[in-house]
Structure 1
């Protein structure tokens, strides 16, 4: 707890100095910037938001409900303070407009001691924010966030993440190591969706995050907060380090590639030549591949129930060993697509009724409630293929 306090004190000192310097650069007098000495408070719950400014990241989501935000910032018993930092791409006018909105809000006399935008974001500012912020906020419009690595770095420094379940947080949030903002993906109206998700964020802040931070024991420590910080460090620390990333690259990519190159180079490269010959044959014959029929066992679709599927596949000049027939299943999205489908290899059941056709069997379990669907596809298969996508060939069952 004391380490977190020290980090917050250093961050507040840095932000005050940056604010003063920025205002003096604009031509304000020393008396005009005297208020900067009291900007922010090292004892107040501090929320950080530092990243590139882009419309899909919704950097101003908190500002969309100014009354609730002001109530949090100006609370006499459990105040919150916000620190924004980051830059927009020079060609991104909407990103620059987002910065203008934040700066305008943060310049209001009533709240400028509780909210700040730090200019000239750099490694020094980032380091201070990672070490000094209690909560790291991320509000992308799901599923637009590719990763969100700033939250990983914040977690390594003891900050707790509060984020939409997108990017890395969708994979690593466990219910104890931070907070998840509910996502309202069912709304086609993006403005309405933003309103709903902003309300969810404020509910989290008002009912969970702020009370957790300010509920102290006799020694002035929030035991529940410290427990969450420890849970975050234990669950996330080993998984978001650069050493783990490099180890994964070595074990999953570099070493297998080196072993593959060594194996292909033996015996006069006969194995490599055989694979190249197989690839040419498959590419030439792929136009003859088709899924001619798909049947599913008639049964009422219930959560947890198993469904058996048979696919009849035309292979033309190819053999069953040249392909893998896959059964994909999952929830059905708004555009009739399968959302994050599971893939099950189907097994050869025998020859079909027509020449050059074969039957393949598979089954799946309805794992989630709601609209659930499946489809079948055929992809190339060979023991020496790095991935079925190597040849860029796939044939789907037609609806």
Structure 2
């Protein structure tokens, strides 16, 4: 019998807490933390510190070591020197910070039900929300994410914790994470991987009541695959990560959780089997009976088959079981094109599952494969995860209003009897976690003008707007300039290291100190490198762009970052073109590409740029969240009207590129959008930025900054998003009947 997992502790966690309280948490070679710093060991085990009121508490132990450790507090505490520890252990100011943060953490973790949980009495820890996703972007020290989906999932968990919504997340631990990026001198992307060590991460093993590690088993490719479980605390929410890297597994199966989105189609399907089927078996083993299962993207759709298999084993027919499963499952799709949804060859599905599984469901081979097809009778069609998820879920939604429309059109054939407007696919527009993404310097302004409880005020638009109105132009502008100076210093240091490691000549490395000008209009463009993101749109007319960049009186400069999938040659070529352009001697001091895009780069960019540029080919941007992060810091969005920006733009809080009524994915549209982009920069954005009063303040620009903060932050934060899921989607699901 395995002990049930509660909101803040299970058997394993209690062991850890007891060790910390008795001072038995060893940091390095048997030594302990000084008594005045011992609370750091307790804070280390929960990622709450990363969005707390003092997120630099670990960095300030040793900034240099912090960088070497990849911002990993557990590794830092093992490697920081004893002298440095005792220096800070006898520093009254630092000790007070540690004590204050520890007290804040204790209040947070023991807090009464709040927000969503008060309104949703059915969601207690007896029947929580079970959230499944293939990737999670919690922090840059845990790189098991590739982009927007993972960052969104991480923000979802953080807001669920802040709101007091009982939620348990399930995912996979990828031993080598997502690829790291290195840009050659010719601009070509190279990939490499670094190994993640559980013993150096804030992972706790999930143990049963005898103290033995909990494992689960799934039959995959005719072999029994076993997985252990790593437990990660995200405030009051726990994330359970399955890991197949066990000695008792076949060597091939140990690599199931080797790389995120690495390998071939077979690797992908077996990962999704472990996530979906293994995740359900894990929850059962822990005694957790969720009220609702949230499939965040189709990667976890196999969990619906496992739920049905359990019910069939209890005597139900598959039809009866499927009806029951649909009442417990909800599905969110993040993909606006059919090609972006996971599909597998029927023979691959058959080989990985084996006939025993569909027999246990009471299905024939073709009935089983038909679950993943829009038209079940079409035996030539591949097995799709999105059709399976939609068919087996009570509710399905896109991630913006426009994406909901696109998704209804994309999957309307699943409901041939309905008109397109009747297709039962809704939307919940994405949002971002404000405490994670707002710069501490801007945060301090919000605390002064909105109030110390600004993270609650942001959920109430009128209250938030009144507070933002109290922000003086001068204080906002001065804070922004300091953050831009920090961004440029950050970029110069990252490039200095990269160029040195690449073997560039010392004379070239010295040039980093001349790159970028803190006084120049700075535009950020950072996102995954993919065709529809149109990385080359800005370069449509290089000479026109050069005039903007080289203007002596009103220069424009660009900062870029992003990764191309290792197997996407077209995306790599697009990235190379941008990298080579910015290396041109005529523009190199006004444009930089920063390699190995991660959460730290994203944070620096959204907190420091003047303008956030986004030029997807509509209607292919499902939502987008990077512009939301930038807006919370006062940056102005310059974006095509697609995804979230259709809902956010009001004509006063940023700029819209192109005609909002033209929503076509065409080459001709690319040219129209390029022309509109150049025209906006030349006639509106640049003139407004350089328009200053006698005090040197760009009053109209500052007004737009405040307008963006006031109108966008309340609507596009993840607290609003999670509340919508809880009240409109989760609440209608039915808890399992014993």
| TM-score, normalisation: structure 2 | 0.34
1:48 and 1:133 in contact (8 A); partners too: yes
Q: 1:348 corresponds to which residue?
A: none
Query: How many Å separate the matches in 2 of 1:34 and 1:172?
Result: 42
State the secondary structure of the residue aligned to 1:233: helix
Q: 2:555 corresponds to which residue?
A: 79
Unmatched segments (≥5 aa) in structure 1: 270-399
The alpha carbon displacement at 1:254 in A equals 2.2
Is 1:233 aligned with 2:706?
no
- Asked which structure has the greater CA Rg, the reply is 1
Q: Any residues of structure 2 matched to 1:239-250 within 5 Å, and which?
A: 239-250=715-726
Cα 1:252–1:214 change in 2 (3 A) is: same
Query: How many Å separate the matches in 2 of 1:47 and 1:58?
Result: 16
Unmatched segments (≥5 aa) in structure 2: 1-476
The alpha carbon displacement at 1:127 in A equals 0.7
2:619 and 2:663 in contact (8 A); partners too: no
Q: 1:50 corresponds to which residue?
A: 526
- Residue by residue over 1:234-278, the C-alpha shift from the partner in whole angstroms, topping out at 9 and shown as x without a partner, is 1101111111111111111222335xx59xx7xxx9xxxxxxxxx
Is 1:198 aligned with 2:663?
no
Query: How many Å separate the matches in 2 of 1:64 and 1:21?
Result: 31
Is 1:129 aligned with 2:602?
no
State the secondary structure of the residue aligned to 1:176: coil
1:142 and 1:183 in contact (8 A); partners too: no
Query: How many Å separate the matches in 2 of 1:137 and 1:46?
Result: 10
Cα 1:185–1:239 change in 2 (3 A) is: closer
Task: Answer 1 or 2: higher relative contact order, Cα 8 Å, separation at least 6.
Answer: 2
Cα 1:106–1:236 change in 2 (3 A) is: same
Q: 1:384 corresponds to which residue?
A: none
Q: Any residues of structure 2 matched to 1:139-288 within 5 Å, and which?
A: 139-183=615-659, 190-257=666-733
Query: How many Å separate the matches in 2 of 1:121 and 1:187?
Result: 29
Query: How many Å separate the matches in 2 of 1:115 and 1:221?
Result: 25
Q: 2:575 corresponds to which residue?
A: 99
The alpha carbon displacement at 1:184 in A equals 8.7
Q: 1:26 corresponds to which residue?
A: 502
- Residue by residue over 1:16-47, the C-alpha shift from the partner in whole angstroms, topping out at 9 and shown as x without a partner, is 11222222222112112211110001111100
Cα 1:190–1:15 change in 2 (3 A) is: same
Pairwise CA RMSD of aligned residues?
Answer: 1.9
Say which structure is richer in strand.
1
The equivalent position to 1:120 in structure 2, one of 592, 596, 613, is 596
Q: 1:13 corresponds to which residue?
A: 489
Higher mean C-alpha deviation, range 113-122 or range 175-184: 175-184
State the secondary structure of the residue aligned to 1:239: coil
State the secondary structure of the residue aligned to 1:27: coil
Say which structure is richer in helix.
2
2:618 and 2:665 in contact (8 A); partners too: no
The alpha carbon displacement at 1:165 in A equals 0.3
1:16 and 1:39 in contact (8 A); partners too: yes
- Residue by residue over 1:104-129, the C-alpha shift from the partner in whole angstroms, topping out at 9 and shown as x without a partner, is 00111111000000001111111110
The alpha carbon displacement at 1:61 in A equals 0.9
The alpha carbon displacement at 1:183 in A equals 4.2
Query: How many Å separate the matches in 2 of 1:125 and 1:232?
Result: 22
State the secondary structure of the residue aligned to 2:507: coil
Query: How many Å separate the matches in 2 of 1:202 and 1:52?
Result: 23
The alpha carbon displacement at 1:186 in A equals 6.1
Q: 2:614 corresponds to which residue?
A: 138
1:184 and 1:197 in contact (8 A); partners too: no
- Residue by residue over 1:214-242, the C-alpha shift from the partner in whole angstroms, topping out at 9 and shown as x without a partner, is 00001111011111111111110111111
Cα 1:248–1:77 change in 2 (3 A) is: same
**Total equivalences in the alignment:** 262
Query: How many Å separate the matches in 2 of 1:205 and 1:24?
Result: 35
